[in-house]
Amino acid sequence: MSGWGAIVIGGGLHGLSAALQLGRRGAKVLLLEADRVGAHASGASAAGVRTLGRDPAEIPIAVAALEMWRGIAGLVGEDCGFVQSGQVKVAETEAELAQLGERVAKVRALGWEHEEVIDRAELRRVLPAVAPHCVGGMIVRTDGFAIAYRTVLAFRRAAEAAGVVVREHSPVRGLERSGGTWRVRLDGGVTEGAPIVVNAAGAWGPRVAMLAGERIPIGYSAFMMLLTSPLPPFVTPVVGATGRPLSFKQLASGHVMIGGGHKGTGDLETGTYRLDIDRAAYSARTALELFPALEGSEIVHAWCGIEGVGEDDLPIIGLGRSEGLVHAFGFSGHGFAIAPAVGEMVAQLALYGQSNLPVAPFNPFRFS
């Protein structure tokens, strides 16, 4: 027991971001990671930084986070490979284009102006290599992407520079509250104590909540990614499809990253996953149909990241029922982009009991 101000459980991007923001506010923080930092969703992420197409509940956070990404080097000491390439959702049919038009109108009615509908000619201007059948799309020109593992390492270094102690290979096994302190039980009879605990355990968030006696029984998925051999540059923005799952981008190195929704299977006991080859094949097919330039490429890497997923595809962010407990997990496959802002929200919730950004839609107990 050594007088920590806060203990953060989970060394993904959300745990690191929360730890960084707690550290910057003067708290003495211990971060405990069961495996290695970035070993799950955060290291596996496609790292798209997207305000485009967000659920209205997430828009204020995504917009605030994009502002932080623009100055990310000021926050974590390096640019994390972040580029404002833009993000486009392609319509393959007139019906899909009409659907995108309705979406943009709805978001504008809420007072947000970042999304824009584009016609066939403008789509070809921003995506010269897109297949001829595509009729238009929806764009946010200031969105972009970063490099996932580089970002994780940058947040770790920044957190450590703010005084956070990061301990890997340290799974939390028990949580007990007494006398205003959480006793956090680790392997080998080790116990650490702090008045504040942050549950940022990703897909394992429900298990950690259970250790504190709180039921937040959300599901999880093993989202699948493919990476091609390097190709000459042919696409700048991140591209999604409207009628089928796809997210697609070309990195500075020429590799093309293909993901966007098809799932393998994950095992929370072991932290391992299994690819689903036929679903990976359909991802490859969708990418090829939208971008014939992929024809001669090879898949050099394929992987999954295990991530918690809420019933409404929204994260769990908020105070626990027990005093001194904050939950922030289950980012449902789109939490990378918002991590810088969510770290601030979590630090505010932990220290002041409320957050500057709207947190109500993410109430941990909304499903029970």
Partner 1 sequence: MAERIVIVGGGPAGQAAAALLPEARLIARPDETAWHGEPGTVWLLRDGAVEPLGFDTLVIAAPVPRLAIAFGCAMRGWQPVVDEAGRTSVPGIHAAGAIIGAVTAEEAARHGRIIAQSILGLAPEGTILSADLPEDEEERRSLSHGFTPREAAVARLGEHGDTTDLFGPRLGEPILLFPASPVPLAALAARTTTPPAQRARQYDAFMQREQE
Ligand X SMILES: Cc1cc2nc3c(=O)[nH]c(=O)nc-3n(C[C@H](O)[C@H](O)[C@H](O)COP(=O)(O)OP(=O)(O)OC[C@H]3O[C@@H](n4cnc5c(N)ncnc54)[C@H](O)[C@@H]3O)c2cc1C
Interface positions with partner 1 (CB under 8 A): 35-39, 43-44, 81, 147-150, 206-207, 210, 215, 217, 219-222, 226-230, 244-245, 251, 253-255, 261-263, 265-266, 268-269, 272-282, 284-285, 287-288, 294-303, 305, 309
Q: State how far the Cα of 329 lies from the Cα of 173, in Å rounded to an integer.
A: 18
Tell me which of partner 1, ligand X, none is bound by residue 33, counting a contact when its beta carbon lies within the kind-specific cut-off of 5 to 8 angstroms: ligand X
Residue 39 CA from chain centroid, whole number: 14
Instruction: Identify the three-state secondary structure at position 282.
Output: helix
48 binds ligand X (CB under 6 A): yes
Tell me which of ligand X, partner 1, none is bound by residue 316, counting a contact when its beta carbon lies within the kind-specific cut-off of 5 to 8 angstroms: none
DSSP letters for 38-57: T-SHHHH---EE--TT--GG
Residues in the chain: 368
Q: How far is the CB of 199 from ligand X (least distance, A)?
A: 9
Q: How far is the CB of 355 from partner 1 (least distance, A)?
A: 27
202 binds ligand X (CB under 6 A): yes
Tell me which of ligand X, partner 1, none is bound by residue 172, counting a contact when its beta carbon lies within the kind-specific cut-off of 5 to 8 angstroms: ligand X
| Residue 55: both structure tokens together | 């659920």
In degrees and rounded to multiples of 5, residue 113 shows phi and psi of: -115, 5
Hunting for tokens 């072991």 — which residue is that?
Answer: 270
Tell me which of partner 1, ligand X, none is bound by residue 171, counting a contact when its beta carbon lies within the kind-specific cut-off of 5 to 8 angstroms: ligand X
Element (H, E) at 116: strand 116-118
| Residue 189: both structure tokens together | 């009879």
Q: State how far the Cα of 355 lies from the Cα of 323, in Å rounded to an integer.
A: 16
Per-residue contact string for residues 288-317; x = within reach of ligand X by CB under 6 A: -----------------x-x----------
Tell me which of partner 1, ligand X, none is bound by residue 201, counting a contact when its beta carbon lies within the kind-specific cut-off of 5 to 8 angstroms: ligand X
Tell me which of partner 1, ligand X, none is bound by residue 302, counting a contact when its beta carbon lies within the kind-specific cut-off of 5 to 8 angstroms: partner 1
Contact between 224 and 264 under an 8 Å Cβ cutoff? The reply is: yes
Nearest to partner 1 of 37, 88 (CB atom): 37
4 binds ligand X (CB under 6 A): no
CA distances from 128 to 86, 285, 302, 315 (A): 14, 19, 27, 35
Please give the single-letter amino acid code of residue 256.
Answer: V
Nearest to ligand X of 12, 86 (CB atom): 12
Nearest to partner 1 of 31, 294 (CB atom): 294
Nearest to ligand X of 97, 364 (CB atom): 364
CA neighbor of 263 nearest in space, from 212, 224, 308: 224
Q: Which of 329, 347, 362, 364 binds ligand X (CB under 6 A)?
A: 329
259 binds ligand X (CB under 6 A): yes
Angle at 64 between CA 62 and CA 66, to 5 degrees: 65
Q: State how far the Cα of 304 lies from the Cα of 196, in Å rounded to an integer.
A: 32
In degrees and rounded to multiples of 5, residue 5 shows phi and psi of: -85, -35
Tell me which of ligand X, partner 1, none is bound by residue 160, counting a contact when its beta carbon lies within the kind-specific cut-off of 5 to 8 angstroms: none
Nearest to partner 1 of 272, 354 (CB atom): 272
Q: How far is the CB of 132 from ligand X (least distance, A)?
A: 27
Q: How far is the CB of 219 from partner 1 (least distance, A)?
A: 4
Q: State how far the Cα of 97 lies from the Cα of 106, in Å rounded to an integer.
A: 14
Please give the single-letter amino acid code of residue 237.
Answer: P
Size of the site for ligand X (CB under 6 A): 40
| Residue 364: both structure tokens together | 């941990």
- Residues in the site for ligand X, rule: CB under 6 A? 9-15, 32-35, 39-42, 44-48, 50, 171-172, 200-202, 204, 208, 223, 225, 259, 305, 307, 329, 331, 333-337
